[in-house]
Amino acid sequence: MNGGMVIIGAGECGGRAALTLRELGYDGPVTLVGDEPHLPYERPPLSKDAMVADAPAVKAIASEADLADKAIAHLRPVTVAAVDRAARLVKLADGGELAYEKLLLATGATPRKLPMPGLGRRCVYLRTFGDALAIRQHLKPQSSIAVVGGGFIGLELAASARKLGADVTVIEAQPRILMRGVPAEIAAVVHAAHEAHGAEILCGSGIASINDDGRKVHLVLANGREIDADLTVMGIGAVPVTGLAEQAGLKIENGVAVDATLRTSDPAIFAAGDCCSFPLAVYGGRRVRLEAWRNAQEQGALAAKNMLGHDEPVSSVPWFWSDQYELTLQIAGLSDEAHASVRRDLAGNAFILFHLAEDGRLIAASGIGPDNAVARDIRLAEMLVAKGARPDPADLISPEVKLKKLLSA
């Protein structure tokens, strides 16, 4: 039985895959299975616009009419119980079954849970639009918010809470915020911006105990300091959702393991987005897993192509961004293997750090500044990384040398 294309996970990645299948001319059945009641939507606004907008709404990537017009069946909210690889069947929790010719796992990631006793209903995580609506009810003057974790999600939420007048304390166990993938020089700018807007950031602060009594959350830090909050939001990272893949016997390696074309250890099953790890050619085949909006978008489209037999490898350079207060941070590439870094200062206190490998290759660029001050140069740097360029560090430092000129060299 040929069931066409089935996609498990109706977020950014799964939604893009379904739309791309139609854009590429596939005319067989396309079924998108999601466990939320909403249309496929973008998650980045959840920590920002969904918190501060007068009338929060999901930022859908397709309307009901779009899906109907393209004959994409969107099952929601539906839970998948199992995948039967031998029979090529997706088994639903309600007893239903979906046959597939090719299957895409776009199950995303889920917030890492804080492994401590004492958590209650005022200790929450942000992953869904429903989570965002519940959190924003507490973001108001005179309310106190504790954010556990100084990563992108926690800091974006902290910025939104301050905009709405809430008292905010960010608790980060590491020596500084944004330890993962963000240079210390840029993290220091972000830290200063939060303090300038009235948020308190406590680094090197482990939590000794936490107790939600139903009215307040009482936190005791390892140094003995006590903090009371009306709401505590945990933002300590995310873990890939791999339960279905594990049940089906697929290879797991920091997520669902896929090859360069996003195919899993079963040739009829693909995985894409936050849930999968894949080899990245621009970094010598290093296996990575990315939790990023653009990666989900691009891999959704690429998975659709390869489900149709294109066999096109992942070739993009990782790209991340974060908006906090008036600042925008952008990073192209992976800087953790850098041998050296050089800085280019731009107008308006913006700057970019260029990260170089030992052989002189540009492997990443990290920038920060008001609004879109670094956007164009980060895009050009991304293209230089993809090209494997070895620019003269002096040219990278000098604002007089246009990156576009280096790209054409």
Distance of alpha carbon 400 from alpha carbon 406, whole angstroms: 12
Q: Total domain count for the chain?
A: 3
Residue 265 lies in a domain: yes
Largest CA distance in the chain: 65
The CATH number linked to 299 is 3.50.50.60
pLDDT of residue 3: 82
Domain termination site, one of 190, 205, 234: 234
Residue 313 lies in a domain: no
Check whether residue 270 and residue 342 sit in a common domain.
no
Cβ atoms < 10 Å from Cβ of 361 = 17
Does the N-terminal peptide bond of residue 399 adopt cis geometry, omega within 30 degrees of 0?
no
Domain termination site, one of 203, 234, 265: 234
Instruction: Supply 387's token pair.
Output: 């090209």
Location of structure tokens 């006793």:
117
pLDDT of residue 2: 63
Range of the domain at 297: 5-110+238-307
Check whether residue 78 and residue 145 sit in a common domain.
no
Location of structure tokens 């046959």:
99
Domain termination site, one of 234, 259, 280: 234
Answer whether 382's CB lies under 8 Å from 317's CB: yes
Helices (H), 128-183: 129-136, 152-163
Instruction: Supply 79's token pair.
Output: 């839970």
Residue 321 lies in a domain: no
Distance of alpha carbon 254 from alpha carbon 239, whole angstroms: 9
The residue type of 224 is G
Give the sign of the dihedral formed by CA 106, CA 159, CA 236, CA 381.
Answer: positive
Angle between helices 293-307 and 12-23 (to 10 degrees): 40
Check whether residue 18 and residue 31 sit in a common domain.
yes
Distance of alpha carbon 49 from alpha carbon 255, whole angstroms: 29
Check whether residue 229 and residue 128 sit in a common domain.
yes
Answer whether 297's CB lies under 8 Å from 12's CB: yes
Residue 319 lies in a domain: no
Per-residue pLDDT in tens (0 to 9) along the chain, 409 residues: 468 999 999 999 999 999 999 999 999 999 999 999 999 999 999 999 999 999 999 999 999 999 999 999 999 999 999 999 999 999 999 999 999 999 999 999 999 999 999 999 999 999 999 999 999 999 999 999 999 999 999 999 999 999 999 999 999 999 999 999 899 999 999 999 999 999 999 999 899 999 999 999 999 999 999 999 999 999 999 999 999 999 999 999 999 999 999 999 999 999 999 999 999 999 999 999 999 999 999 999 999 999 999 999 999 999 999 999 999 999 999 999 899 999 999 999 999 999 999 999 999 999 999 999 999 999 999 999 999 999 999 999 999 999 999 998 8
Check whether residue 283 and residue 198 sit in a common domain.
no
Output 352-355 pairs: Cβ under 8 A, ≥24 positions apart: 352/377, 352/378, 352/381, 353/183, 353/185, 353/186, 354/381, 354/391, 354/393, 354/396, 355/183
Answer whether 170's CB lies under 8 Å from 150's CB: yes
Check whether residue 161 and residue 63 sit in a common domain.
no
Check whether residue 122 and residue 165 sit in a common domain.
yes
Check whether residue 129 and residue 196 sit in a common domain.
yes
Check whether residue 215 and residue 280 sit in a common domain.
no
pLDDT of residue 1: 44
Residue 314 lies in a domain: no
pLDDT of residue 212: 96
Closest CA to 33 of 84, 100, 128: 100
Residue 316 lies in a domain: no
Task: Dump strand ranges (E) for 297-399.
Answer: 319-324, 327-333, 340-345, 351-356, 362-370
Q: How many residues does the chain have?
A: 409
pLDDT of residue 53: 94
Q: What is the DSSP string of 347-368?
A: GGG-EEEEEE-TTS-EEEEEEE
Check whether residue 293 and residue 400 sit in a common domain.
no
Residue 175 lies in a domain: yes
Distance of alpha carbon 330 from alpha carbon 365, whole angstroms: 8
Distance of alpha carbon 25 from alpha carbon 53, whole angstroms: 38
Check whether residue 290 and residue 226 sit in a common domain.
no
Phi-psi region of 278 (alpha: psi -120 to 50; beta: other; left: phi over 0): beta
Check whether residue 148 and residue 204 sit in a common domain.
yes
Distance of alpha carbon 360 from alpha carbon 339, whole angstroms: 9
